[in-house]
Chain A
């Protein structure tokens, strides 16, 4: 069964460094999402992406964040200058159509020290 994959599974970085989180959505999916979950808290929407542009972004998704689909398979989330409060689990999700459920990847745990 096709699945969403994410790399790395765990990333440790120093405050102020740039990180890129990678996702490979399911191949025939067209809509892509990033969510984050701070430890012990609920899952929060960050951004949605369709047709090579951002469809919607949350208040969390400020200028430090960017997303890109650099080729036909990868979907990346970049944090330009990480802060301690960016430490969280980041989930990628994809769906083929807005009338279908999203499939989530296993997540990348980001630890900012």
Chain B
């Protein structure tokens, strides 16, 4: 069975500082990995995805993530955070063999200090 852990429930970061959100997954084969962002009361916006190939993936809004198979991780990073990045971030795992149903982590809420 698939599972996703996001160890940090809340993170507070100063505007302009770097951000890293952690994601660990459990799946027997190579999974598909995703990061979504959700602003309050809004839907899910895809930030970036990993299916195969280059393990460092670039996404929208200046985000990137690195797939590390040895650590079963897919951490999200941004070099310089903007106030508009305050939101909740969800890591998700899927797999073609599992019909690509997505299993989401519990989310990390990011607060940005001025």
Question: Which of A's residues lie within 8 Å of B, judged by CB?
Answer: 31, 33, 35, 41-45, 48, 50, 55-56, 91, 93, 95, 98-99, 101-107
Contact A42 B101 (CB under 8 A): no
Contact A104 B99 (CB under 8 A): no
Q: Please pick, from A41, A101, A106, A107, the residue contacting B46 in the complex, using a CB distance under 8 A.
A: A101
Give B21-59 as 1s and 0s: 1 = Cβ < 8 Å from A's Cβ atoms.
000000000001010100000111010010100000000
Inter-chain contacts of B94 with A (CB < 8 A): 102
Q: Please pick, from B43, B103, B105, the residue contacting A104 in the complex, using a CB distance under 8 A.
A: B43
Contact B96 A98 (CB under 8 A): yes
Q: Please pick, from A41, A45, A55, the residue contacting B102 in the complex, using a CB distance under 8 A.
A: A45
A42 to B107, CA, bound (A): 7
Contact A31 B100 (CB under 8 A): yes
A67 to B77, CA, bound (A): 38
A43 to B103, CA, bound (A): 8
Question: Which of B's residues lie within 8 Å of A, judged by CB?
Answer: 32, 34, 36, 42-44, 46, 49, 51, 90, 92, 94, 96, 98-107
The 7 closest A-B pairs by CB, nearest first: A106-B43, A43-B104, A98-B96, A98-B100, A104-B44, A42-B106, A45-B101
The DSSP consensus for interface residues of chain A is strand
Kindly list 20 other residue pairs between chains A and B, CB separation below 8 angstroms, not including A93-B102, A106-B43.
A33-B101, A35-B102, A42-B90, A42-B105, A42-B106, A43-B92, A43-B102, A44-B104, A45-B102, A45-B103, A48-B99, A48-B100, A91-B43, A98-B100, A99-B51, A99-B100, A101-B32, A101-B46, A105-B43, A107-B43
